[in-house]
Protein backbone atom coordinates (compact mmCIF):
# COMPACT_ATOMS: atom_id res chain seq x y z
CA UNK A 1 0.00 0.00 0.00
CA UNK A 2 2.78 2.39 0.94
CA UNK A 3 4.68 1.39 -2.18
CA UNK A 4 1.69 2.01 -4.42
CA UNK A 5 1.04 5.36 -2.76
CA UNK A 6 4.62 6.43 -3.42
CA UNK A 7 4.36 5.34 -7.05
CA UNK A 8 1.14 7.28 -7.48
CA UNK A 9 2.70 10.40 -5.94
CA UNK A 10 5.64 10.21 -8.31
CA UNK A 11 3.24 9.71 -11.24
CA UNK A 12 1.16 12.74 -10.22
CA UNK A 13 4.34 14.81 -9.81
CA UNK A 14 5.50 13.82 -13.29
CA UNK A 15 2.11 14.77 -14.75
CA UNK A 16 2.31 18.12 -12.95
CA UNK A 17 5.81 18.83 -14.30
CA UNK A 18 4.82 17.81 -17.83
CA UNK A 19 1.69 19.97 -17.61
CA UNK A 20 3.69 23.03 -16.55
CA UNK A 21 6.20 22.40 -19.33
CA UNK A 22 3.41 22.16 -21.90
CA UNK A 23 1.81 25.37 -20.63
CA UNK A 24 5.18 27.16 -20.83
CA UNK A 25 5.65 25.84 -24.36
CA UNK A 26 2.16 27.01 -25.32
CA UNK A 27 2.85 30.50 -23.95
CA UNK A 28 6.19 30.59 -25.81
CA UNK A 29 4.53 29.54 -29.09
CA UNK A 30 1.81 32.17 -28.62
CA UNK A 31 4.45 34.86 -28.11
CA UNK A 32 6.21 33.83 -31.32
CA UNK A 33 2.87 33.81 -33.17
CA UNK A 34 1.80 37.27 -32.02
CA UNK A 35 5.24 38.75 -32.69
CA UNK A 36 5.25 37.20 -36.17
CA UNK A 37 1.79 38.69 -36.73
CA UNK A 38 3.22 42.14 -35.89
CA UNK A 39 1.45 42.26 -32.52
CA UNK A 40 4.48 42.63 -30.24
CA UNK A 41 2.68 45.20 -28.07
CA UNK A 42 0.91 42.28 -26.35
CA UNK A 43 4.16 41.51 -24.51
CA UNK A 44 6.77 43.50 -22.55
CA UNK A 45 9.89 44.42 -24.50
CA UNK A 46 12.00 42.17 -22.26
CA UNK A 47 9.89 39.13 -23.18
CA UNK A 48 10.08 39.96 -26.88
CA UNK A 49 13.86 40.17 -26.55
CA UNK A 50 13.93 36.75 -24.90
CA UNK A 51 11.92 35.20 -27.74
CA UNK A 52 13.52 36.95 -30.70
CA UNK A 53 17.06 37.52 -29.45
CA UNK A 54 16.72 41.21 -30.29
CA UNK A 55 17.97 43.57 -27.56
CA UNK A 56 15.32 45.80 -25.91
CA UNK A 57 16.92 49.01 -27.22
CA UNK A 58 17.21 47.58 -30.73
CA UNK A 59 13.54 46.61 -30.63
CA UNK A 60 12.58 50.12 -29.44
CA UNK A 61 14.70 51.71 -32.18
CA UNK A 62 13.12 49.54 -34.87
CA UNK A 63 9.67 50.37 -33.53
CA UNK A 64 10.49 54.10 -33.78
CA UNK A 65 11.71 53.57 -37.34
CA UNK A 66 8.61 51.60 -38.33
CA UNK A 67 6.24 54.17 -36.78
CA UNK A 68 7.98 56.95 -38.72
CA UNK A 69 7.64 55.01 -41.97
CA UNK A 70 3.89 54.68 -41.44
CA UNK A 71 3.30 58.30 -40.38
CA UNK A 72 3.29 60.66 -43.35
CA UNK A 73 3.71 63.67 -41.06
CA UNK A 74 6.94 62.41 -39.50
CA UNK A 75 10.47 62.08 -40.87
CA UNK A 76 13.13 59.90 -39.26
CA UNK A 77 16.60 61.41 -39.19
CA UNK A 78 19.92 60.23 -37.77
CA UNK A 79 22.89 61.82 -36.05
CA UNK A 80 26.15 59.90 -35.72
CA UNK A 81 28.62 60.48 -32.92
CA UNK A 82 30.94 58.62 -30.57
CA UNK A 83 30.13 56.65 -27.45
CA UNK A 84 31.86 59.09 -25.09
CA UNK A 85 29.18 61.67 -26.01
CA UNK A 86 26.24 59.36 -25.34
CA UNK A 87 25.60 60.17 -21.68
CA UNK A 88 25.37 63.92 -22.32
CA UNK A 89 23.18 63.42 -25.39
CA UNK A 90 20.78 61.22 -23.40
CA UNK A 91 20.57 63.96 -20.73
CA UNK A 92 20.49 67.10 -22.85
CA UNK A 93 19.78 66.10 -26.45
CA UNK A 94 21.84 67.32 -29.39
CA UNK A 95 23.27 70.76 -28.65
CA UNK A 96 23.86 73.14 -31.55
CA UNK A 97 27.58 73.80 -31.65
CA UNK A 98 30.55 74.61 -33.82
CA UNK A 99 32.06 71.14 -34.15
CA UNK A 100 35.72 70.19 -34.27
CA UNK A 101 35.43 68.96 -37.83
CA UNK A 102 33.96 72.25 -39.07
CA UNK A 103 36.57 74.19 -37.12
CA UNK A 104 39.36 72.30 -38.88
CA UNK A 105 37.85 73.22 -42.22
CA UNK A 106 37.51 76.87 -41.16
CA UNK A 107 41.13 77.13 -40.04
CA UNK A 108 42.14 75.57 -43.33
CA UNK A 109 40.18 78.23 -45.20
CA UNK A 110 41.54 81.33 -43.43
CA UNK A 111 44.04 82.39 -40.79
CA UNK A 112 42.25 85.69 -40.09
CA UNK A 113 41.30 85.28 -36.41
CA UNK A 114 38.71 88.08 -36.50
CA UNK A 115 36.99 86.39 -39.43
CA UNK A 116 37.19 83.01 -37.67
CA UNK A 117 35.57 84.35 -34.49
CA UNK A 118 32.87 86.13 -36.48
CA UNK A 119 32.02 82.96 -38.40
CA UNK A 120 32.05 80.80 -35.28
CA UNK A 121 29.69 83.14 -33.44
CA UNK A 122 26.87 82.48 -35.91
CA UNK A 123 27.64 78.96 -37.07
CA UNK A 124 26.36 76.67 -34.33
CA UNK A 125 24.29 73.83 -35.74
CA UNK A 126 23.19 70.23 -35.34
CA UNK A 127 23.79 68.17 -38.48
CA UNK A 128 21.35 65.38 -39.31
CA UNK A 129 20.98 62.89 -42.15
CA UNK A 130 18.36 60.63 -43.73
CA UNK A 131 20.72 57.64 -43.51
CA UNK A 132 23.07 56.60 -40.66
CA UNK A 133 26.05 56.87 -42.97
CA UNK A 134 28.50 58.83 -40.79
CA UNK A 135 29.17 56.32 -38.01
CA UNK A 136 32.34 54.83 -39.51
CA UNK A 137 33.74 58.27 -40.34
CA UNK A 138 33.16 59.53 -36.79
CA UNK A 139 34.77 56.41 -35.30
CA UNK A 140 37.74 56.71 -37.67
CA UNK A 141 38.36 60.28 -36.50
CA UNK A 142 37.98 59.35 -32.85
CA UNK A 143 40.40 56.43 -33.11
CA UNK A 144 42.75 58.26 -35.50
CA UNK A 145 42.38 55.53 -38.09
CA UNK A 146 41.76 55.61 -41.80
CA UNK A 147 38.16 54.98 -42.84
CA UNK A 148 39.14 51.71 -44.52
CA UNK A 149 40.76 50.32 -41.36
CA UNK A 150 37.78 50.75 -39.04
CA UNK A 151 36.48 47.38 -37.80
CA UNK A 152 33.20 46.17 -36.38
CA UNK A 153 34.85 46.04 -32.94
CA UNK A 154 35.80 49.71 -33.34
CA UNK A 155 32.16 50.55 -34.09
CA UNK A 156 31.12 48.53 -31.03
CA UNK A 157 33.66 50.33 -28.84
CA UNK A 158 33.39 53.93 -30.04
CA UNK A 159 30.31 54.28 -32.26
CA UNK A 160 27.09 56.06 -31.34
CA UNK A 161 23.84 56.76 -33.19
CA UNK A 162 20.84 58.96 -32.42
CA UNK A 163 17.39 58.43 -33.92
CA UNK A 164 15.45 61.68 -34.25
CA UNK A 165 11.84 61.94 -35.39
CA UNK A 166 10.73 65.37 -36.58
CA UNK A 167 7.56 66.64 -38.21
CA UNK A 168 7.97 67.29 -41.91
CA UNK A 169 6.62 70.82 -41.45
CA UNK A 170 9.20 71.70 -38.80
CA UNK A 171 10.30 75.32 -39.06
CA UNK A 172 13.72 74.78 -37.45
CA UNK A 173 14.95 71.93 -39.66
CA UNK A 174 16.68 73.24 -42.78
CA UNK A 175 17.72 71.39 -45.92
CA UNK A 176 20.39 72.85 -48.17
CA UNK A 177 19.05 72.12 -51.63
CA UNK A 178 21.15 72.93 -54.69
CA UNK A 179 18.45 75.24 -56.02
CA UNK A 180 18.15 77.10 -52.74
CA UNK A 181 21.88 77.72 -52.35
CA UNK A 182 22.08 78.86 -55.98
CA UNK A 183 19.32 81.39 -55.30
CA UNK A 184 21.03 82.65 -52.15
CA UNK A 185 19.10 81.02 -49.32
CA UNK A 186 18.45 77.79 -47.43
CA UNK A 187 14.81 76.92 -46.81
CA UNK A 188 13.29 75.08 -43.88
CA UNK A 189 10.69 72.37 -44.36
CA UNK A 190 7.99 74.88 -43.40
CA UNK A 191 9.01 77.62 -45.78
CA UNK A 192 11.05 79.91 -43.53
CA UNK A 193 14.51 80.59 -44.88
CA UNK A 194 18.03 81.61 -43.98
CA UNK A 195 19.92 83.97 -46.23
CA UNK A 196 23.29 82.62 -47.26
CA UNK A 197 25.14 84.86 -44.80
CA UNK A 198 23.02 83.32 -42.00
CA UNK A 199 23.74 79.72 -42.97
CA UNK A 200 26.18 78.03 -40.57
CA UNK A 201 29.71 77.61 -41.92
CA UNK A 202 30.33 74.16 -43.35
CA UNK A 203 26.83 73.53 -44.69
CA UNK A 204 26.96 71.91 -48.12
CA UNK A 205 24.37 70.96 -50.71
CA UNK A 206 22.22 68.13 -49.39
CA UNK A 207 22.91 68.81 -45.70
CA UNK A 208 20.05 68.74 -43.22
CA UNK A 209 20.61 70.80 -40.09
CA UNK A 210 19.06 72.76 -37.25
CA UNK A 211 20.36 75.98 -35.77
CA UNK A 212 18.79 75.06 -32.42
CA UNK A 213 19.06 72.13 -30.04
CA UNK A 214 17.36 68.88 -31.07
CA UNK A 215 15.78 66.22 -28.87
CA UNK A 216 16.48 62.56 -29.59
CA UNK A 217 14.13 59.56 -29.44
CA UNK A 218 16.78 56.97 -28.60
CA UNK A 219 20.55 56.49 -28.72
CA UNK A 220 22.44 53.30 -29.54
CA UNK A 221 25.96 52.22 -28.63
CA UNK A 222 27.94 48.99 -28.25
CA UNK A 223 26.27 45.71 -29.19
CA UNK A 224 22.89 47.44 -29.62
CA UNK A 225 24.35 49.74 -32.27
CA UNK A 226 26.03 46.90 -34.14
CA UNK A 227 22.90 44.73 -34.09
CA UNK A 228 20.67 47.60 -35.23
CA UNK A 229 22.98 48.47 -38.12
CA UNK A 230 23.49 44.85 -39.19
CA UNK A 231 19.74 44.27 -39.24
CA UNK A 232 18.75 47.49 -40.99
CA UNK A 233 21.75 49.23 -42.63
CA UNK A 234 24.46 46.59 -43.10
CA UNK A 235 26.13 48.48 -45.95
CA UNK A 236 26.87 51.46 -43.68
CA UNK A 237 29.29 49.65 -41.34
CA UNK A 238 32.25 47.29 -41.79
CA UNK A 239 31.56 43.58 -42.37
CA UNK A 240 33.93 42.49 -39.62
Q: Are residues 150 and 174 in the same domain?
A: yes
Q: At residue 109, does pLDDT exceed 70?
A: no
pLDDT of residue 125: 85
pLDDT of residue 41: 47
Q: Are residues 66 and 173 in the same domain?
A: yes
Domain boundary among 37, 53, 69: 53
Q: Are residues 121 and 141 in the same domain?
A: yes
For residue 192, the surrounding DSSP H or E stretch is: none
Most confident of 112-116, 137-141, 200-204: 137-141
Q: At residue 182, does pLDDT exceed 60?
A: no
User: 3 lies in which domain range?
Assistant: 1-53
Give the count of domains, the chain.
2
pLDDT of residue 53: 67
Q: At residue 94, does pLDDT exceed 50?
A: yes
Most confident of 42-56, 122-136, 182-196: 122-136
Q: Using CA atoms, how far apart are residues 62 and 107, in angstroms rounded to an integer?
A: 40
Q: Are residues 60 and 128 in the same domain?
A: yes
Phi and psi for 231 in degrees, rounded to 5? -80, -30
Sign of CA dihedral 220, 227, 141, 236: negative
Number of Cα atoms under 13 Å in the Cβ half of residue 182: 4
Q: Are residues 3 and 116 in the same domain?
A: no
Q: Are residues 35 and 65 in the same domain?
A: no
Q: Are residues 157 and 209 in the same domain?
A: yes
Q: At residue 210, does pLDDT exceed 80?
A: yes
Q: Are residues 7 and 85 in the same domain?
A: no
Task: Give the confidence band of 28 by pLDDT, cuts at 50, 70, 90.
Answer: low
pLDDT of residue 42: 46
Q: Are residues 225 and 148 in the same domain?
A: yes
pLDDT of residue 199: 77
pLDDT (average), residues 62-80? 91
Q: What is the pTM of this model?
A: 0.72
Mean pLDDT of the chain: 78
pLDDT (average), residues 94-115? 69
pLDDT of residue 97: 79
Domain boundary among 19, 36, 53: 53
Amino acid sequence: MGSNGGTESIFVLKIFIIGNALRSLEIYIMKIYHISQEQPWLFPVEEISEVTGIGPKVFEAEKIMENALHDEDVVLLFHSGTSDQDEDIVKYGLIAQFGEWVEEVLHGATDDMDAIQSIKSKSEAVFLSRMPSWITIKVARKMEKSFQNVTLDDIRECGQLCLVTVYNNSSDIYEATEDGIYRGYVESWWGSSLENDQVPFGVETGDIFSTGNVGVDITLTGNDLVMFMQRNFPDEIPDQ
